[in-house]
A and B are shown apart, each in its own frame.
Chain A
Amino acid sequence: MKNITPIIFEKSIAGRRATSLAPKNKIVAKDIDKKYLRPNKPILPEVSELDVVRHFTQLSQKNFSVDTHFYPLGSCTMKYNPHILQNTASICGFTKLHPYAAVECCQGILECLFELQEYLKQITGMQGVSLAPMAGAHGEYAGVAMIREYHASRGDTGRTEIIVPDAAHGTNPASAAMCNYTVHEIPTLEHGDVDLEALQKAVGPQTAGIMLTNPSTLGVFERNIEKIAKIVHTAGGLLYYDGANLNAILGKARPGDMGFDVMHMNLHKTFGTPHGGGGPGSGPVAVNARLLPFLPTPIVGKKGNNFSLLTKRDLPQSIGNLSAFAGNVGIMLRAYVYIRLLGTEGLVRVGEMSTLNANYLMKLLQEANFTVPYPDRRASHEFIVTLRKEAKELGTTAKDFGKRLLDYGFHAPTTYFPMLIAECLLIEPTETESKQKMDEFAAIMANILQEAKTTPDLVKNAPYTMPVKRLDDVKAARDMDFGWKQEKK
């Protein structure tokens, strides 16, 4: 069968291995009693170095990636990941450094991280930054935990609820629940704004805070943000900003100015670090003066010309450390290099061009007869197209369109998120894509719409040119085959 790469275990030949990669001699651990030792060898592949190179190279060639394809995944900011980031982070003065090495031996990396903290303060308009959280969700946990500590420190223990708009990313309510808060959902109005009346009714002495994304997941700016801030603050709650969409307002507006008390950023979105197939990311948190004492450790401190890592000993009210060491340092380093490359002007341009691209593409798709739920609003750096009409009249869904796009060499946009809009595609081109690429994408979308009208089955059964056709999710959940097992002969 074409295109199957066998599982690497299936290539094993007993006794085969890459001998030059391990010590020549095999020591026997005579001083360790048998009771501590494994009775058997673990089952791992037995293959040659060449087998490994071919196997994983072939597998890589089955992936779509930013380096190979236009990847307009809304909410993910799939911008180009400059290769120099990888290059500089790989210098051995960085990679060989142990996290517990003597502090005077770590001044180079600490200086980079300290400067990154300072830049992120400027970009967000906040007073303090911790680079510790290792992804957006980790940062959300930290942010909500800081809100909890803040209220506890004031003896205000009755605040048990976090308010979350129904359009929020799933990590928001999940993070609130991880901090033992009850989630109170409020609705969004037809023009994409949070329902202020519902918010006013929802707040009270039980409100710990609200979690918001701005621009929201609906692809539009929360115009009433200042009113929202007033309502929540008046009720004694705090405002949390989900920084997933920071790309849209980079250099144009700052969450700190909007009244947010705490926020996280996604370095793997806004600051160009590679997504890695699902991480590693990095989710630094930033706070205003109120929450400064609670930032997670470690934080890079500076005394004179010397840098060091501040721990709970230095910051006794900190919510503590969220991982063993300093976080995803290699990712922070890449984000630092990205900011040094772009500089002030470049960062502002990111906000401008990502927003220009989204509005331009939205217009092209509208002209191609696609329906956008907020036609009278400016798009942020992403926008939604709803295929509700097409699903109803032609039977072709957002999922089908997404799969057909793959055949044309485009990764599908985000589908079925936010859940508020039926059959939605959330489209985020990012600023690193050209006008020509977007013209191409719009033309292909129009093409697929035509296919849906004339030969709907073609769209419904796509893709045809991928390594596999549509996959059976039900069978996957039923079989629970999560690891290769030697077939019994």
Chain B
Amino acid sequence: MPYIPHTDQDIQAMLAKIGIKSLDTLFEEIPKNLRINGLTGIPEGLTEMEVAKLMHERAHKNKPGLCFIGAGAYEHYIPAVVWDLVSRGEFLTAYTPYQAEASQGTLQVIYEYQSMMRNLMELDVSNASMYDGASSLAEAVLMAVRANKNATRKAALIPQTLHPAYRTAIEALTKQHDIELIDIPFTTKSGHIDFKALEKYADSGVAALVISQPNFFGVLEEVDDLTNWAHQHNMLVIANVNPLAMTFLKAPGQWGEKGADIAAGDGQPLGAPLSFGGPYFGFMCCKQDFIRQLPGRIVGRTVDTEGKQGFVLTMQAREQHIRRAKATSNICSNQALLATASTIHMSLLGAEGLERVALQSHANANELCKKLTAIKGVELVFTGQPFFHEFVIRIPKPAVEILTKLAAAGIQGGYNLGAAYPALQNCLLICATETKSSADLELFAKKLGELL
């Protein structure tokens, strides 16, 4: 039996020690009518060789292609060291560091992760990770509503420039608390938050304003003005950011006069492969003032009985295993391994290396944008505002048909905005990262030109 080491002799000796004759007796406390005699619908076990063959066949049925899709998941080069180290059994098969003395490896890594993340965000503290960007942002909204004593309404302003799947996830995760999620439209010309529409909520007493940077369309928001406006009106600012972009763009703690209050987003660009959507990891950082409201695990530095440096899980009175129904969140297992991968990734590239990756991605997106908009009938939708590494084009043929044909030619051409944004029919959100060569960009432009 796979991974079960017991020989018949072992089993006989163990049954004898327990004082029973058969394995069935072990289950005698389960009512007879509830006991089953084996499972149906599960195939017979395979050998490792057979399963490896099967999985290669299944992997082969996937066609990742040359990928120009972003929309919240970004293809970046991950150095060989990252997953070699993360796959070490001591990291991969360790558990939550409840026995701190036997987990100093994991605990120190997480402390270093927290240090790097909060530096990147220019905020005071980071937690040890959440499930993903969307659920992390939902927790940030819950946190802001809890923490903002000046708010008179349990509500948050959510721009339509936020990733649509994040918007619906926030709804699913905050629904039970009757939190009003107020949609703020974007300007059709520039693709950023519509200030005039926002102004309507100046004295609304809502708890928070969410700002994405860059936003879902790749466009840069006026983060300083928005932050100052929100603070003037007693709202907390929740920054939903791409951590890679934060190596050269103004970071949440630097927004406006006082800085954003909470930062939440997805750390996937820092060392997590695309993997059809997961596992990635959510990050959450905040100002010192809000630390007791921060969900998730936190590692703190301390000393042992001999004064030697060590690390422990701390501030556990916020968490489910201590506070139970009164916990800030029910989160237990998070995405520690991915946070570990990102820590190694950030250490390898450093600020300079990551900035180069970000800038190369920006340059490639610019170049691709030029090439694609040179095709007859293709127009850039949002003008007048810079973008990071994604941009939106409108094409003269149905987006679904074009994307299907591109896929058949081995190119994943972009994200179709029409479903989530009725005003953006036949518009594609396209991304180019540092992984694309000039030849790749040229190929895409050529293929798209042929199809149009």
Contacts and interface: CB of A to CB of B under 8 A. Distances in A.
Contacts of B450: none
Nearest to A461: B305
A433 B10 CA distance: 12
A48 B108 CA distance: 19
B104 A62 contact: yes
Contacts of A346: 1-2, 4, 45
B94 A277 contact: yes
A343 B45 contact: yes
B173 interface: yes
Interface in B93-141: 93-106, 108-112, 114-116, 118-120, 122, 125-126, 128-129, 131-135
B407 interface: yes
A223 B28 CA distance: 10
Contact residues on B (Cβ < 8 Å of other chain), bracket: 35 or more
Shortest 3 CB-CB contacts between residues of A and residues of B: A343-B45, A67-B89, A325-B277
A14 B109 CA distance: 22
Contacts of B442: none
A80 B2 CA distance: 11
Interface string B23-60: 10011111100111011111111101001101111111
B189 interface: no
Contact of A52 (B94, B254, B348, B355): B348
A189 interface: no
Contact of A47 (B30, B109, B347, B362): B347
Contacts of A226: 31, 34
Interface string A33-70: 10111110111111101001101110111111111110
A343 B346 contact: no
B279 to A, nearest CB: 4
12 contacts: A22-B353, A37-B250, A38-B246, A44-B354, A61-B90, A62-B103, A94-B62, A99-B73, A170-B332, A275-B94, A434-B10, A466-B101
Contacts of B135: 134, 138, 322-323
B398 interface: no
A335 interface: no
Given A67-B90, A174-B327, A278-B297, A101 B64 contact: yes
Contacts, number: 676
Nearest to B55: A88
Interface string A292-321: 000010000000000000001000000111
Nearest to A76: B95
B11 A356 contact: yes
Nearest to B138: A322
B13 to A, nearest CB: 7
Nearest to A20: B79
Interface in A265-289: 268, 272, 274-281
B104 A63 contact: yes
A355 B349 CA distance: 48
A482 B298 contact: yes
Given A339-B42, A378-B28, A468-B304, A106 B276 contact: yes
Among the interface residues A5, A220, A274, A323, which one has the most CB atoms of the partner chain B within 10 A? A323
Contact of A280 (B45, B105, B335): B335
B321 interface: yes
Interface stretch (B145-153, B164-172, B202-210, B374-382): B164-172
B190 interface: no
Contact of B246 (A26, A42, A145, A175): A42
A93 B334 CA distance: 26
B3 A324 contact: no
A365 B61 CA distance: 52
A468 B312 CA distance: 11
Contact of B277 (A324, A355, A364): A324
Contact of B89 (A46, A66, A93, A134): A66
Contacts of B308: 1, 3-4, 468-469
Contacts of B325: 173-174, 176-177, 183
Contacts of B163: 324
A23 interface: yes
